[in-house]
Amino acid sequence: MNRVAFVFTRAPHGSSAGREGLDAALATGALSESIGLFFIGDGVLQLTPDQQPATILTRHHAATFGVLALYDIENCYVSREALRERGLAEEGARVMDVAVLDAPALRQQLATYDRIMTF
């Protein structure tokens, strides 16, 4: 069975990429057991708690990250460098548990997947 990685590279609001990526991961999770989520670049902002998208009239989808465990999606990684570049603490609060990896380790982990989808 193919291992599928979902790479989140965009901020959570301003485009539908984050929500679409999450929906795609959940749909794939119903069919596959080998899924990984990777948060790099502005994608690390997807994990920021206490967002208030209603002020810009956007739907709040961060709560959906909570159902990933129901689909056995447990391999989730975030870029250490991207966190630092955006002034976010490595051990800071997030909407879900993720492993913080530096760039070489993140690339090595990503290379273990057969298919990569970027959002």
Give, in degrees to the nearest 5, the angle at Cα 96 between 43 and 79: 40
Task: State which residues form the domain around 113.
Answer: 4-118
Question: What φ, ψ does residue 45 adopt, rounded to 5°?
Answer: -70, -15
Per-residue pLDDT tens for 59-100?
A: 667 778 888 888 889 999 999 999 999 999 999 888 889 999
Number of independent structural domains in the chain: 1
Per-residue pLDDT tens for 24-71?
A: 999 998 888 899 999 999 999 999 877 776 665 666 677 788 888 888
Any idea what the CATH number is for the domain that residue 82 is in? Answer: 3.40.1260.10
Tally: H helices and E strands in the chain: 3, 5
pTM above 0.95, yes or no: no
